Amino acid sequence: MHSIATKPINGTSSRLRVELFGELVFSREPMRRYLSESALEGIERWEKRGERISRELADEIANALRQWAQERGATHFTHWFHPLTGLTAEKHEHLYDVIHGKVLSALNGDELIQQEPDASSFPSGGLRSTFEARGYTAWDPSSPPFIYGKTLCVPSVYVSYDGHALDYKTPLLRSIEALNRALLDVVKLFYRDVHRVYPTLGVEQEFFLIPQSLFKKRPDLMLTGRTLIGAPSPRGQQMEDHYFGSIPEAVLAFYEELELEAWRLGIPLKTRHNEVAPAQYECAPVFEELNVAIDHNQLLMDLLKRTARRHGMECLLHEKPFAGINGSGKHNNWSLSTDTGINLLSPGKNPKENLRFFTFLAIVLRAVYKHADLLRATIATPGNEHRLGGNEAPPAILSVFLGGEVTAAVEALEKVPELPSLAERQPFSLLPTLPPVLRDNTDRNRTAPFAFTGNKFEFRAVGASAHCAPAMISLNAAVAEAGQDFLHLYQSYTAQGSPKNAAILLAIRDFLRESRPIRFDGNNYDAAWHEEAARRGLSTTFHLPHMLKTYHSPATKSLFRKLDILSETELHARYEVRIERYVKALGIELHTLLDMLRSYLIPAAIRYQQELVNLVGSPALQTLAQAYAPEVLPQQKLLESLQHHLSALWEGITTAEAIWQKVRQIGSVEEQAEIVHDEVGPIMRTLRYHADEIEKILPAALYPFPRYAELLFEIA
């Protein structure tokens, strides 16, 4: 998209900000102003009862939308959709038509409802060959249209000519609907007045900011998003002083503009802070309905990049831009809400609410336990391959942290199906002069990949650059299935004569027992946990091609098929896209690395080598060599060391070329992925080792790229 048309916001008062919230969104308020009573009623019928939006109504909405957007400076219209690239896509149409030489404003209901981008160049996983290029985008009325730059964007789904989902939004919407269908009957055990259950999501987004001038001197960052070589900076994150530290001026200015733009787009950004690694930051909006939250996260990632550039910085969303310091993730805070405003994962104040709480807790635990490998597959991305499992991010083993108090309650319930009580949050006093502090009923455990945090679950293994949908579709689906199974279990207990609450408790107990292996409150970084997890039958290694195979497992296929979320064909296509993109991503990384070595680093090293050779052969050094033994001369040592790493580098390059040759000659993408995993990754690490050793030897002025210390500490 083109640049955002807004002015910088220095000096904008907070009063103005509040008024600006959502001003670029066609939400309730503009709808009331631009639409007739009957149109509003039609929309309400669609929202409340799922009644279809008629063509006439669509025409009226289209007309209102166009007028509203043009009054705010929009010139173009697009369906804004989520192809399987993980990014969003758009194809702009002018909001004006020229008919018989006359310029007319135009946007009718048909155009609003459906568009046909020539879609042959999006990844489809074999669902569509290039000669069958037709694909349709269709309006998703559950996420409001917005103006981005000068373009009116209408959130849309994207399907092929024969109706297969080619995007993330279609299965996401299906999973939200499946969740509603499955959980409504369970909710009705507790509340009769609930008509809808929906997932909520709040995404914490981590990222790095570095000077743009330096970014442009690093082909690896530009082409792959991460540094492929680079010796560590003497100072990294050892001092633990960046996290929550004072935000640098330049970054504050960036944040201010980001927040204002986000607010205007209706993205409720709320928190901002420095993250653990130098140059690393985080921001998070207040949670929203899941579909809208994901649209907003996609938009936010774009906004982060654009805003950073306007401030002379580059925003890195990669999961591991720098070796040796923390990478970036995207914590997906997920919960379940009713249309009556109850958070189903919030512990209650009375026994009825607590019974409801333990019911949904048990359902989620059973879901995560049964589909742990699928959830792992959804976050198995090339970037996460470098991030997960290190001593920083959640490890590759999926387990759930509940915290001491909830764990104790769950363990009691597992033994005796009686409702345990949960203590109220207890205040404790620090000093008589200070107000009392309330203690939460869960502590934090930063090492857990899936954590219960008081009234929601937090899936932390999602990568910072990732689209949230794959993880959220699978979580929704798994929970929907567990909800159905819970109800069946409950019904079987009542059929055997158990009274209602007793039957619920028995069903909870069964789910807790079944899912016990997934619960772990200890230190997930501990080596002993790996062994323990393996004993429990949990998957422990991050082997991307193998993890993706879960897309083909009977449990996964049956899950998506029975809930009408993805057909087997659609599921297989997703697998194909993922595995193909893995091979492509590593191919790009390998060739970028080879290019950096051949065209920059090796020529620089040879220049230095020549200097050293000249020095060693010079009369002055000869004299020195006669005075001392020649082998103790540092010049000689440097030369030998440089020579050693240069030869090793050259040998590595030859090996890497041969490996890629082999990859290219193999027909099946699955076998390619195996070689990429087993050979490309390791040879890149070898090349990096020698390149970084050369960096340590070269005079700073000769090293052809900005170094880690500059990249990480220039903005402070």
Give me the residues that bind ligand ADP (CB under 6 A), please.
200-202, 204, 271, 284-287, 333-335, 343, 453, 455-456, 458
Q: Give the DSSP letter string of 270-291.
A: EEEEE-SSTTEEEEEEPPEEHH
Q: Which is closer to ligand ADP, CB of 154 or CB of 203?
A: 203
Options 329-337, 672-680, 684-692, 694-702: segment touching Mg ion (CB under 5 A): 329-337
Both tokens of residue 479? 């929970």
- The listed partner (ligand ADP, Mg ion, none) that binds 335, CB under 5 to 8 Å by sort, is ligand ADP
For residue 433, what is the DSSP state? T
The C-alpha R_g of the chain, in whole angstroms, comes to 28
If we measure between CA atoms, which residue out of 344, 308, 377, 290 comes closest to residue 560? Answer: 377
- Length of the chain equals 716
- The listed partner (ligand ADP, Mg ion, none) that binds 389, CB under 5 to 8 Å by sort, is none
Beta-carbon-side half-sphere exposure of residue 256 (alpha carbons within 13 Å): 16
- Amino acid identity for residue 334 in this structure: W
What is the nearest approach in angstroms of ligand ADP to the Cβ of residue 527? 27
Options 15-23, 102-110, 331-339, 578-586: segment touching Mg ion (CB under 5 A): 331-339
- The listed partner (ligand ADP, Mg ion, none) that binds 550, CB under 5 to 8 Å by sort, is none
- The listed partner (Mg ion, ligand ADP, none) that binds 202, CB under 5 to 8 Å by sort, is ligand ADP
Window 615-674: residues binding Mg ion (CB under 5 A): none
Beta-carbon-side half-sphere exposure of residue 356 (alpha carbons within 13 Å): 26
Q: Which is closer to Mg ion, CB of 169 or CB of 331?
A: 331
List phi, psi (to 5°) of 114. Answer: -145, 140
- The listed partner (Mg ion, ligand ADP, none) that binds 455, CB under 5 to 8 Å by sort, is ligand ADP
Report CA 211 to chain centroid distance, whole Å.
24
Residue 194 CA to residue 185 CA, distance in Å, equals 10
Q: Which is closer to Mg ion, CB of 203 or CB of 489?
A: 203
Residues sharing a CB contact under 8 Å with residue 651, sequence separation 6 or more, in sequence order: none
List phi, psi (to 5°) of 167. Answer: -140, -175
Q: Which is closer to ligand ADP, CB of 235 or CB of 444?
A: 444
What is the nearest approach in angstroms of ligand ADP to the Cβ of residue 458? 6
What is the nearest approach in angstroms of ligand ADP to the Cβ of residue 401? 12
CB atoms within 10 A of CB 514: 16
What is the nearest approach in angstroms of Mg ion to the Cβ of residue 70? 41
- For position 331 contacting Mg ion by CB under 5 A, the verdict is yes
If we measure between CA atoms, which residue out of 544, 287, 243, 202 comes closest to residue 392? Answer: 243
- The listed partner (Mg ion, ligand ADP, none) that binds 201, CB under 5 to 8 Å by sort, is ligand ADP
C-beta of residue 395 within 8 angstroms of C-beta of residue 369: no
For 212-351, list the strands marked E by DSSP. 269-274, 280-285, 288-289, 313-316, 330-338
Q: Which is closer to ligand ADP, CB of 164 or CB of 456?
A: 456
What is the nearest approach in angstroms of ligand ADP to the Cβ of residue 158? 26
Q: Which is closer to ligand ADP, CB of 78 or CB of 338?
A: 338
Q: Which is closer to ligand ADP, CB of 117 or CB of 327?
A: 327
For 297-449, list the strands marked E by DSSP. 313-316, 330-338, 400-401, 427-428, 437-438
Residue 399 CA to residue 524 CA, distance in Å, equals 9
Options 29-37, 269-277, 325-333, 531-539: segment touching Mg ion (CB under 5 A): 325-333
Residues sharing a CB contact under 8 Å with residue 700, sequence separation 6 or more, in sequence order: 707
Q: Which is closer to ligand ADP, CB of 290 or CB of 649?
A: 290
What is the nearest approach in angstroms of ligand ADP to the Cβ of residue 39? 32
The residue number whose beta carbon is nearest to Mg ion equals: 331
Q: Which is closer to ligand ADP, CB of 463 or CB of 545?
A: 463
- The listed partner (ligand ADP, Mg ion, none) that binds 470, CB under 5 to 8 Å by sort, is none
Residue 106 CA to residue 152 CA, distance in Å, equals 13
Q: Which is closer to ligand ADP, CB of 338 or CB of 672?
A: 338
Q: Which is closer to ligand ADP, CB of 298 or CB of 539?
A: 298
What is the nearest approach in angstroms of ligand ADP to the Cβ of residue 203? 6
Beta-strand pair 102-105/400-401? unpaired
If we measure between CA atoms, which residue out of 503, 294, 544 comes closest to residue 417? Answer: 503
Options 267-275, 304-312, 323-331, 394-402: segment touching Mg ion (CB under 5 A): 323-331
Give the burial string for 435-473 (b: 16+ CB within 10 Å, else e).
eeeeeebbeebebbbbbbbbbbbbbbbbbbbbbbbbbbb
What is the nearest approach in angstroms of ligand ADP to the Cβ of residue 337? 7
- The listed partner (Mg ion, ligand ADP, none) that binds 200, CB under 5 to 8 Å by sort, is ligand ADP
Q: What is the dihedral of CA 70, 76, 82, 85, to 10 degrees?
A: -150
Residue 71 CA to residue 59 CA, distance in Å, equals 18
- The listed partner (ligand ADP, Mg ion, none) that binds 284, CB under 5 to 8 Å by sort, is ligand ADP
- The listed partner (Mg ion, ligand ADP, none) that binds 121, CB under 5 to 8 Å by sort, is none
What is the nearest approach in angstroms of Mg ion to the Cβ of residue 357? 20
**Exposed (0-12), middle (13-18) or buried (19+): which is 632, by Cβ within 10 Å?**
exposed
What is the nearest approach in angstroms of ligand ADP to the Cβ of residue 356? 15
- The listed partner (ligand ADP, Mg ion, none) that binds 307, CB under 5 to 8 Å by sort, is none
- The listed partner (ligand ADP, Mg ion, none) that binds 343, CB under 5 to 8 Å by sort, is ligand ADP
Q: Which is closer to ligand ADP, CB of 119 or CB of 472?
A: 472
Q: Which is closer to Mg ion, CB of 330 or CB of 690?
A: 330
The residue number whose beta carbon is nearest to ligand ADP equals: 202
Residue 107 CA to residue 116 CA, distance in Å, equals 15
What is the nearest approach in angstroms of Mg ion to the Cβ of residue 202? 9
What is the nearest approach in angstroms of ligand ADP to the Cβ of residue 339? 14
C-beta of residue 405 within 8 angstroms of C-beta of residue 442: yes
- For position 456 contacting Mg ion by CB under 5 A, the verdict is no
- The listed partner (ligand ADP, Mg ion, none) that binds 242, CB under 5 to 8 Å by sort, is none
C-beta of residue 525 within 8 angstroms of C-beta of residue 543: no
| Cα distance from N-terminal residue to C-terminal residue, the chain | 30
Q: Which is closer to ligand ADP, CB of 220 or CB of 458?
A: 458
Both tokens of residue 376? 């792992």
What is the nearest approach in angstroms of ligand ADP to the Cβ of residue 123? 30
What is the nearest approach in angstroms of ligand ADP to the Cβ of residue 331? 6
Q: Which is closer to ligand ADP, CB of 202 or CB of 652?
A: 202
Both tokens of residue 82? 């989520």
- For position 330 contacting Mg ion by CB under 5 A, the verdict is no
Residue 23 CA to residue 144 CA, distance in Å, equals 12
What is the nearest approach in angstroms of Mg ion to the Cβ of residue 204? 5
Residues sharing a CB contact under 8 Å with residue 562, sequence separation 6 or more, in sequence order: 481
Residues sharing a CB contact under 8 Å with residue 50, sequence separation 6 or more, in sequence order: none
What is the nearest approach in angstroms of ligand ADP to the Cβ of residue 270? 7
List phi, psi (to 5°) of 56. Answer: -65, -45
Q: Which is closer to Mg ion, CB of 43 or CB of 451?
A: 451
**What are the residues binding Mg ion (CB under 5 A)?**
331
